[in-house]
Structure 1
Amino acid sequence: MKSDLGLVHVITGDGKGKTTTSLGIAFRAAGHNLKVAVIQFLKGGSYIGEYMAAQKFPNILWKQFGKNCTYLDERLDTPFECGSCRDCFLNDEDAARSSREAIKFAKEITKSGEYDLIILDEANVAVSYAFVQPKELIELIKNKNPKTELIITGRGAHEEVLKLADYVSEVKKIKHPIDKGVYGRWGVEY
Structure 2
Amino acid sequence: MSARTVLHDADITRALTRIAHEILESNRGGENLVLLGIPTRGVALAQRLGRLIAEIAQTSVPVGSLDVTLFRDDLAKHPTRSPHPTDIPADGIDDRTVVLVDDVLFSGRSIRAALDALQSIGRPAAVRLAILVDRGHRELPIRPDFVGKNIPSSRQERVNVRLREYDGAEEVTIEA
Instruction: Give the alignment's TM-score, normalised by structure 1.
Output: 0.40
Whichever structure has more strand as a proportion of its residues is 2
* Greater share of residues in helix: 1
TM-score, normalised to structure 2, is 0.42
Tell me: higher relative CO, structure 1 or 2? Use CA pairs within 8 A at least 6 residues apart: 1
